[in-house]
Amino acid sequence: MNKPELLPGLQPVVGTSTPHESAHLHVSGAAPYTDDLPEPAGTLHAALGLSPLAHGKLTGIDVARIRRMPGVVAVLTAADIPAQNNCGPLLHDDPILAADELRYVGQPVFAVIATDRELARRAAGLAKQVIQAEPLPPVLTALAAHAIGQYVLPPMHLTRGEPAEHLATAPHRLQGTWSLGGQEQFYLEGQISLAVPQEGGEGLLVHCSTQHPSEMQQLVAHCLGWHAHRVVVQCRRMGGGFGGKESQSALFACVAAIASLKLKKPVKLRVDRDDDFLVTGRRHGFDYRWDVGFDADGRILAADIDLVSNAGHSADLSAPVMARALCHFDNAYWLPHIAMHGYCAKTNTQSNTAFRGFGGPQGAIAVEMILDGIARQLGVDGTVVRERNFYSRGNDVTPYGQPVEELHAQPLTAQLLASSRYAERRAEIAAFNAASPVLKKGLAFTPVKFGISFNVAHLNQAGALVHVYTDGSVLVNHGGTEMGQGLNTKVAQVVAHELGLPLSRVRCSATDTSKVANTSATAASTGSDLNGKAAQDAARKIKARLTAFAAERLGCAPELVAFEGGQVSGGGQSESFDSLVAAAYLKRIQLWSDGFYATPGLHWDRAKLQGHPFYYYAWGGAVCEALVDTLTGESRITRADLLHDVGSSLNPALDIGQIEGGFIQGMGWLTMEELVWHPVTGLLTTHAPSTYKIPTANDCPPEFRTELFGVANASETIHRSKAVGEPPLLLGFAALLAIKDACAACGPERCDPPLRAPATAEAVLSAIDAVR
């Protein structure tokens, strides 16, 4: 299938809704993912033998029995790892294969290498019979670990003002506890790596479905005892990542690489969906305890809150996830006196990791639940209480010391409440509930303020290469990875815009550690911000050389030269870009360049949790209407109105797609995606699509209205746009609170239903029973 050309005369530049660069391949099933790549001759297949115990001392493995299985070529254990037995991103506390301790049900203990994937899986399935271990008591919940002070990292504390004193004198108090479940990334393409030996055994090429090729390169090199220049990691596209392929793709890359080096053969490791669930971590579940003081108008005067995350058995990215949760507890609100305490509980479960929002959602939803409770205690509409607590000029510094320069909460909220007919619908819903004994409706509004940047300053950098060929076509390579979000499309648009070319003349190639080195993960919503700026820098360097050359040919001053529509003009004359490039090559003018970008103005004191960790904030708001069946507990979001701030959009169609997708993913997390571990064995019982329910197209609200706020970014980002990957997930808060509002309609005035998340049918019935 040929890629369709755009309509004649249409110039696809920044700000236009051009299609995703691979859309035609996606819909035709022709987009190659890692498993679709042709397998080199002699490719072997790996499978993982998983721990049957949540906690135990590993005493032996009957390797001989596994080797006797049909098709088995080799069995790898921790003893076969040439150098570091570690795939943890920050601390060396996450073994590739268990060496002496079993930490959770599903931990990889050995790897089977066989001639066929199914034969490898069958042999690995002997794990329960061949793993010898002494059981130890497991700790399976975050609160149980918190009770005994068992953490993967020291606790974090962020304090401003004098919260204890102001709590003691506050006219009103709200105290409570709440639990919030985790969330499986459920990328459609599972974890996979293919390691291919290079000539002379001096290197490895690793095809890996990963958001962080440079980290995969480093960890593979470390486990082999090599320098990084011997490892090349490539990723053309992923079938979804959502954070689950930022750090946790490392285990699969390392196992494939170790096996490939040992056997001198290509080795592929593609895990089954059940094994993917059992091996990898997910969004951290959180438990909260809060004590909040407020006045008669619902304004928060002081707050003291504990946030306890379930880190799992190792640190992984739990520290920065908790730091971001603490930095997003304020959401869009001024909190004058605040004490926050973050605890990363160590449990005998999968090591939890990055997930879209990276702790921000877990922090911000707590203050939304608190404000909802305050509003119900006072008998005031939740939207009114929220507006009274918004950041405002004079009260515009976050608890971690960063000024909030753009105060978009007020105008964005006003626009959304008007366009969604919030006030009128509130009255209509009250009338409906009064006349409906079984079905109840609820309505809720929630805002979003989300900080954009990695909250580790040095990660906010990116590089790119731009090659202009003698026929006038352009190839771009940058350090970001494409996981369906449209990053390559946006970067190509930036380069096409810079060089005055149609988008069809610009192409982005696969992410490759041998082209752009030392890249950051495609995460923290920074993909377009960082890589777009780096590509723009490279394109501008080429354009500057061509501008000087064109000025000579056209007989005009350089400042009069313009690149537009595939033409280069100046001084009343013009020639095609192709012609100029061909001539420049003959004059030995460099037609390629590197580009680099580092986000300015960032600093962060990790010990004090103070600084300027974010370049800017993205804002948004959602109004959701829910319908609840009080007999069954079933609920449905019947309408959602979203208004989101993406600055000056690079591509409105892609941005709206991200906003809607983020909202649905957030709604799924809070209303239906439930993770359940066996309380005794520690087995994750919801480890397949049959037991873990994600939202589908059928769960989208029948009325789904999404608009862009349309105000240019005050910060100097790429074309004054704003990040769009993570912030919209927080719009899903309104779905949970709308269901809670419907539950409240079953009880007396000012009741506060104890609705847990996810708000499954069982949770809804429990909340309704409590208020009745």
Kindly list the catalytic residues.
Answer: 726
- Does the bond joining 758 to the residue before it have cis omega, within 30 degrees of 0? yes
Give the Cα separation of 496 and 501 in Å (integer). Answer: 5
Q: Which residues fall within 8 angstroms of residue 344, CB to CB, at 6 or more apart?
A: 151, 152, 153, 155, 309, 311, 315, 318, 319, 322
Q: Is the dihedral of CA 46, 52, 57, 63 positive or negative?
A: negative
Length of the chain: 772
Give the Cα separation of 259 and 267 in Å (integer). Answer: 7
Phi and psi at residue 54, to the nearest 5°: -75, -30
Q: Which residue has the tokens 């003959």?
A: 586
DSSP 8-state secondary structure symbol assigned to residue 698: G
Dihedral angle computed from the Cα positions of residues 120, 123, 126 and 130, in that order, rounded to the nearest 10 degrees:
-110
Which of 44, 92, 190, 239 lies closest to 689 in space, CA to CA? Answer: 190
What ranges in 141-204 are assigned the alpha helix state H? 142-147, 163-169
Give the Cα separation of 644 and 728 in Å (integer). Answer: 7
Q: Which residue has the tokens 């059928």?
A: 698
- The tokens describing 224, both together, are 């082999």
Q: Which residue has the tokens 């709590």?
A: 167
DSSP 8-state secondary structure symbol assigned to residue 494: H
Asked if 742 contacts 656 with a C-beta cutoff of 8 angstroms, the reply is no
* DSSP secondary structure, 71-121, as one string: TEEEEE-GGG-SS-----SSSS---SS-SSEE-STT-EEEEEEESSHHHHH
- The tokens describing 374, both together, are 């305050």
Give the Cα separation of 113 and 116 in Å (integer). Answer: 9
What ranges in 449-569 are assigned the alpha helix state H? 487-499, 527-554
Give the Cα separation of 491 and 476 in Å (integer). Answer: 8
